[in-house]
Amino acid sequence: MMFSANLGFLWSELTLPDAIRAAKSAGFDAVECHWPYDTPVTDVAKALTETGLPMLGLNTRRGDVAGGENGLSALAGREADARAAIDEALAYASALKVPNVHVMAGFAQGEAAAACFAANLDYACQQAAPLGITILIEPLNRYDAPGYFLQTTTQAKDIITGLGHDNLKLMFDCYHVQLMEGDLSHRVQDLMPIIGHVQFASVPDRGAPDHGEVNFDHIFAHLAAIGYSAPLGAEYKPVGPTAETLGWMEKYLTA
């Protein structure tokens, strides 16, 4: 079993290069991040080379966060901004050999939003393909992100199959999916052909996966049994210092 540290939440008090080094020291097999753009690519590349860790993914910018934005690609009328964010993310990812870019939809509803999101994803996939990068889309739950355009795996599957790009995949976040849909074991198995990355956190508090309503011993074993072998993304919010919340990982590292 391999794990990726999501540095958007883990060691968030450190600079991104130092967080990468901390993840290596803690025994993680990979890292991923949210919005790394304030850190020079050369600094991140140095830390990745030093540790030997791959960076698995990053997100497009959210837009005007102070104004309440959480992604741009489903916002009709903001196509230029959305595509600039996609271009920026692809350039950053390409420089670091990051295989996945999560294109964030944003707060929107209706047919115009659906058409806008599809067009921007089509653009993203076409730009990403020559770079060998996969575009990910991720449903977010209605409690943490009310009004977010993409909320369920069914909606995501329809978008992915409708566009038909080989490099468009689903980010299956167990935390969001459990809150919106439940039935994780069947859902992850049914969606496996279109899953590009898996993330996890406890439910309902989004903490470490050693408590809550989801049995992650079962989920991790099930993922392995159905052939998922890539590092699983630990995207949880630590209570206190990150190093003190990693007891859950010890049994998997020694298994």
Q: What is the pLDDT of residues 118-136, one digit of tens each?
A: 999 999 999 999 999 999 9
Mapped onto helix, strand or coil, the DSSP state of residue 82 is helix
138 among known catalytic residues: yes
User: What's the pLDDT score for residue 248?
Assistant: 95
Task: Find the catalytic residue in 32, 79, 138, 181.
Answer: 138
Beta-carbon contacts of residue 32 (< 8 Å; ≥ 6 apart):
4, 5, 6, 7, 8, 55, 56, 57, 58, 100, 197, 233, 235
Tens digit of each residue's pLDDT (9 = 90 or more) over 46-102: 999 999 999 999 999 999 999 999 999 999 999 999 999 999 999 999 999 999 999
Task: Find the catalytic residue in 13, 111, 235, 250.
Answer: 235
| pTM to 2 decimal places | 0.97
235 among known catalytic residues: yes
Q: Are 81 and 121 within 8 A, CB to CB? A: no
Give the torsion through C-alpha atoms of 231, 6, 17, 70, to 10 deg. 130
Tens digit of each residue's pLDDT (9 = 90 or more) over 171-186: 999 999 999 999 999 9
